[in-house]
Amino acid sequence: MADAGMLRFHVPEPEVRPGGTPDFSNVTIPKAGSVPRPEIDVDPRTIRDMAFSIIRVLNRAGEAVGPWAGLLTDEELLEGLRHMMTLRTFDARMQMAQRQGKTSFYMQHLGEEAVSCAFRKALKPGDMNFPTYRQAGLLIADGYPMVTMMNQIYSNEADPLKGRQLPIMYSSKEHGFFSISGNLATQYIQAVGWAMASAISKDSRIAAAWIGDGSTAESDFHAALVFASTYKAPVVLNVVNNQWAISTFQGIARGGSGTFAARGLGFGIPSLRVDGNDYLAVHAVAKWAIERARRNLGPTLVEYVTYRVGAHSSSDDPSAYRPKAESDAWPLGDPVVRLKNHLIHRKVWSEDRHTQAEAEILETVITAQKEAESHGTLHAGGKPSTRDMFEGVYAEMPPHLRRQRQQAGV
Ligand SMILES: Cc1ncc(C[n+]2csc(CCOP(=O)(O)OP(=O)(O)O)c2C)c(N)n1
Ligand SMILES: [Mg+2]
């Protein structure tokens, strides 16, 4: 007998759990080069299917193919490879430093390096990112000093944020990197508001909002889309779908929409999906979306399809909720290896030069680390002054804070 009258609800489950065989057969990967590149003033209604495809440039043979290829020179690609390798090495050293007790906390980008490194190169100086904790490539690719990042991670005497932010929650106005907030999704409304303010003040700088797949479930995400859509704000709305939100798989936050990009369709926002492990594709799509913003054509939503290879943070153990070898089975491969193979195919790189570059980059990162550690680490050496705790929040210190500072004797 049918269970008429008995109500049910549905809890989506990942395909596999620890101990199972990784299976991504449900992830449809279009051929590289197969998705068209529309004019940037395209009518969004005519490209709705792009929210369900994946723009890819690099094919399995390491060739760059299709209408989104050909925007970067060999020099630019070599620089991009170096940025991704630097971020990866930086991550490995800082993860180790966390295990050694030199900092309390760290978050890696392993497998997602192309997203932030390539996006940064499509922006202009003055544009403003509103990032989450997994876009340090925006700083690395913009030449922000690694030593300064490390000083902040160690909360030492040279920490530009003076111990007032969590490690890895960087902030640099000069490098277009708005202070990271741990309250996820707040970045989205801030970015849209900043973009509108830029337009109101007749400026030419655009904004980029950043969010993870899981955080799109927050109401701030949806409120930001209303404002961006209604006011055609000059903003790029980035969603980094790395398949996981700590231990929650992306099927929960995605709900019934099919893809995260499809969220934009209900707002009439052009919405694209891109291979997040393909440096060339990320850069080409970012350029397209940024140009739309710059030319007053309004917001674009971009979903980067990628995979979080590392743990969520230094406090997480993914073996509790997903098969160990799942990252090896991820069908879009490794962004560093893919760009390396492309450059070898173009005959401007080789396995030997790659090995040599790895050693050079490690050397550079270790030198920066030594310098940062000379200013102190979490439990050793120089610290920000206690007095700093009271500074820099108000233009004029209110009486109650002045009293507290006196009581603290600093
Ligand atoms: C508003 C808010 N809710 C919950 C958290 C706790 N939290 C920190 S990271 C995280 C998962 C986010 O996953 P996702 O958005 O997919 O980003 P990813 O870590 O995968 O880059 C959660 C739930 C938070 N920091 N802020
Ligand atoms: Mg995620």
Q: How many Å apart are CA 87 and CA 365, to the nearest integer? A: 10
Cα torsion 120, 122, 124, 128: sign: negative
Q: Ligand 1 centre and the CA of 360: distance in Å?
A: 34
Is the shortest distance between the CB of 136 and ligand 1 below 6 Å? Answer: no
d(Cα 57, Cα 62) in Å, to the nearest integer? 9
Residue 252 CA to residue 270 CA, distance in Å, equals: 23
Residue 2's pLDDT is what?
Answer: 61
Strands ordered across the beta sheet of 300-305: 128-130, 207-212, 235-241, 300-305, 271-275
Task: Say yes or no: CB of residue 214 within 6 Å of ligand 1.
Answer: yes
| Residue 183 Cβ < 6 Å to ligand 1 | yes
pLDDT the model gives residue 307: 98
User: Residue 404's Cα: distance from chain center in Å?
Assistant: 39
Tokens, residue 275: 């291979």
Which of 15-19, 301-305, 366-370 comes out lowest in average pLDDT? Answer: 15-19
Percent of the chain clearing pLDDT 90 (strictly above): 94
Spatial separation of the C-alpha atoms in residues 108 and 312, rounded to whole Å: 8
- Mean pLDDT over 2-21 rounds to 90
The average pLDDT across 121-144 equals: 98
Residue 389 pLDDT > 90: no
pLDDT of residue 280: 98
pLDDT confidence of residue 26: 85
pLDDT at 208 over 60: yes
Kindly tell me if the per-residue pLDDT of 217 is higher than 90.
yes
Side-chain half-sphere CA neighbours of 67 within 13 A: 9
Tell me the pLDDT band of 183, cut-offs 50, 70 and 90: very high
pLDDT tens-digit profile of 329-344?
999 999 999 999 999 9
Rounded to the nearest angstrom, the distance between the alpha carbon of 215 and the centre of ligand 1 is 6
The helix/strand/coil state of 128 is strand
Q: Ligand 1 pocket, 247 CB below 6 A?
A: no
124 exposed, middle or buried (CB, 10 Å; 0-12, 13-18, 19+)? exposed
Atom of ligand 1 nearest to the CA of 132: 21
Whether the Cβ atoms of residue 270 and residue 44 lie closer than 8 Å to each other: yes
Taking the centre of ligand 1 as the mean of its atom positions, its distance from the CA of residue 18, in whole angstroms, is: 22
Out of 134, 215, 221, give the residue to mutate to test ligand 1, the one with the largest number of ligand atoms within 8 Å of its CB: 215
Percentage of residues of the chain with pLDDT beyond 70: 99
- Block residue for tokens 């009439």: 268
C-alpha 372/C-alpha 103 separation (Å) is 12
pTM of the model: 0.97
- Residue found by looking up tokens 């961006």 in the block: 228
Q: Is the CB of 134 under 6 A from ligand 1?
A: yes
Q: Give yes or no for residue 148 having a pLDDT over 80.
A: yes
CA of 110 to the centre of ligand 2 (A): 13
How many C-beta neighbours within 10 Å does residue 198 have? 21
Backbone angles phi, psi at 121, to 5 degrees: -70, -15
Q: How many CB atoms lie within 10 A of CB 117?
A: 33
Q: Measured on CA atoms in the order 249, 254, 256, 258, is the torsion positive or negative? A: negative
Question: Where in 276-363 does DSSP place strands (E)?
Answer: 300-305
Q: Helices 279-294 and 74-99 sit at what angle, rounded to 10 degrees?
A: 100
For residue range 52-99, list pLDDT tens digits in order: 999 999 999 999 999 999 999 999 999 999 999 999 999 999 999 999
Inter-axis angle of helices 219-231 and 186-200, to 10 degrees? 20
Nearest protein Cα to ligand 1, atom 19: 245
Would you state the structure tokens that stand for residue 406, as one six-digit string?
A: 């006196």
For the beta carbon of residue 70, count every other beta carbon within 10 angstroms: 12
pLDDT digits (tens, 9 = 90+) for 269-320: 999 999 999 999 999 999 999 999 999 999 999 999 999 999 999 999 999 9
Find the 244 Cα to ligand 2 centroid distance in Å: 4
Q: 11: pLDDT confidence band, cut at 50, 70 and 90?
A: very high
Q: Is 60 exceeded by the pLDDT of residue 1?
A: no
- The span from the CA of 369 to the CA of 43, in Å, is 49
Q: What integer is the mean pLDDT of 240-246? A: 98
Q: What is the pLDDT of residue 4?
A: 78
Instruction: Out of 134, 180, 184, give the residue to mutate to test ligand 1, the one with the largest number of ligand atoms within 8 Å of its CB.
Output: 184
Q: Which atom of ligand 1 is nearest to the CA of 112?
A: 21
Q: Is the CB of 258 under 6 A from ligand 1?
A: no
Render the burial of 141-179: b for 16+ CB within 10 Å, e for the rest: bbebbbbbbbbbbbbbbbbebbbbbbbbbbbbeebbbbb
Nearest CA to ligand 1 atom 21: 212
**Among the atoms of ligand 1, which is closest to the Cα of residue 218?**
1
Q: Which residue has the tokens 């704000």?
A: 233
What is the distance, to the nearest Å, from the Cα of residue 177 to the centroid of all Cα atoms in its chain?
A: 12
Ligand nearest, relative to CA of residue 107: 1
Using a 10 angstrom Cβ sphere, with 0-12 exposed, 13-18 middle and 19 or more buried, the burial of residue 183 is exposed
